[in-house]
Amino acid sequence: MSIINIYTNGTSVSEETKKIVVEKFEKSGFTVRKDYSPDSQLLVCIGGDGAFLQAVHTYDFPSIPIVGINTGHLGFFQEVSPDDPVELDAFIRDYQAGKYRLQRLSTVQATVTTHTGRREVLRGLNEIVIKGSPSYSVHLNISIGDSPIEKFSGDGILVATSAGSTAYNYSLGGSIVDPRIRLLQVTPIAPMNTTAYRAFTSSILLPSDLSLGVVPENGKSNYIFLLNDGIEHAYAQVREIKIEFSDTIINLLRFESYDFWDKVKTKFL
Ligand code: NAP
């Protein structure tokens, strides 16, 4: 049996689109299930990139193929436009005929250890951001592999995946990276360079086998904030944060005509 799951961001346009999509899939012989299960063959995500990220986090980074239907947002992850019902029909036809490929998106993970012994792992499809309290600069001692590299002071740092390079990373002046390249991009957020703190002012690129070590200095606030794809987590008394390339892969369904750089051009230029 061909089982499909559908996730929406709940807006009225997405819910309307969902009704049409369910009808079309069922007419084509698929079973559409309300609840996600890992044995489904496809997860359809209706909304924008935000909805796509929500679906990925809600279902704990599923390994089944995901396709995005864009309902009026930027839609970098989203592949199908619902405006034209013919395009929806073509999508289902091409999907049944196997005329698609899977774009493998790598992810990033952060392991946070506190002085109280708490240890947590966060994953991101776009990025992990480390920030201090919004009113103060944050001081971070940063190492790459085993080598201490810089004493950072500023608003924080962002570690982007290649797929996330077009998101917050790009707004901060980071580079756009083709998702086929396996790397992590470390981009500073408002770095200060003084005699006390020295940090790179541009992004730096790390190969997938090198990790980033971050040890916060005690500052005015006891709190460090970590954001994975915009989801905020507050930690007191952080001892160390290790950020590394993750083996978890998101399989994004793309039409045969998909071209990353064409998408970049359409969305940004
Ligand atoms: P949001 O702040 O409501 O929206 C962020 C915007 O980023 C939306 O327009 C979204 O597209 C777009 N976006 C998300 N992932 C993208 C990607 N990989 N490439 C290009 N654009 C992308 O937050 P959200 O919708 O929950 O998304 C969370 C993401 O927002 C975070 O992962 C972070 O990258 C981004 N963010 C950006 C800034 C900034 O640029 N100054 C600040 C905070 C967070 P849609 O319109 O299609 O949803």
Token duo for residue 111: 């392991």
Whole-number pLDDT of residue 73? 83
Rounded to whole angstroms, the Cα distance separating 44 from 7 reads 6
Whole-number pLDDT of residue 127? 99
Token duo for residue 196: 């006390």
47 lines ligand 1 (CB under 6 A): no
Whole-number pLDDT of residue 34? 82
Angstrom CA distances, 238 to 66, 200, 204, 205, 223, stand at 35, 23, 24, 25, 8
Rounded to whole angstroms, the Cα distance separating 177 from 172 reads 14
Contact 188, 152 (CB under 8 A): yes
- Report CA Rg, the chain: 20
Q: Closest Cα to atom 7, ligand 1: which residue?
A: 167
172 lines ligand 1 (CB under 6 A): no
Token duo for residue 30: 């698929």
Residue type, 1: M
Which sequence positions are flagged as catalytic? 49
pTM of the model: 0.97
Query: How many angstroms separate the alpha carbon of residue 232 from the centre of ligand 1?
Result: 14
Rounded to whole angstroms, the Cα distance separating 192 from 248 reads 34
Pinpoint the alpha helices (H) of the chain.
Answer: 12-27, 49-58, 85-96, 168-171, 260-268
Rounded to whole angstroms, the Cα distance separating 131 from 141 reads 13
Q: Closest Cα to atom 40, ligand 1: which residue?
A: 168
Query: What does the pLDDT profile of the chain (269 residues) look like in tens digits?
Result: 699 999 999 999 999 999 999 999 999 999 999 889 889 999 999 999 999 999 999 999 999 999 999 997 889 999 999 887 778 999 999 999 999 999 999 999 999 999 999 999 999 999 999 999 988 999 999 999 999 999 999 999 999 999 999 999 999 999 999 999 999 999 999 999 999 999 999 999 999 999 999 999 987 778 999 999 999 999 999 999 999 999 899 999 999 999 999 999 999 99
Cα(first)–Cα(last) distance of the chain, in Å? 43
Whole-number pLDDT of residue 82? 86
Whole-number pLDDT of residue 120? 98
188 lines ligand 1 (CB under 6 A): no
Rounded to whole angstroms, the Cα distance separating 71 from 62 reads 22
53 lines ligand 1 (CB under 6 A): yes
Query: How many angstroms separate the alpha carbon of residue 196 from the centre of ligand 1?
Result: 33
76 lines ligand 1 (CB under 6 A): yes
Whole-number pLDDT of residue 142? 98
Q: Closest Cα to atom 38, ligand 1: which residue?
A: 168
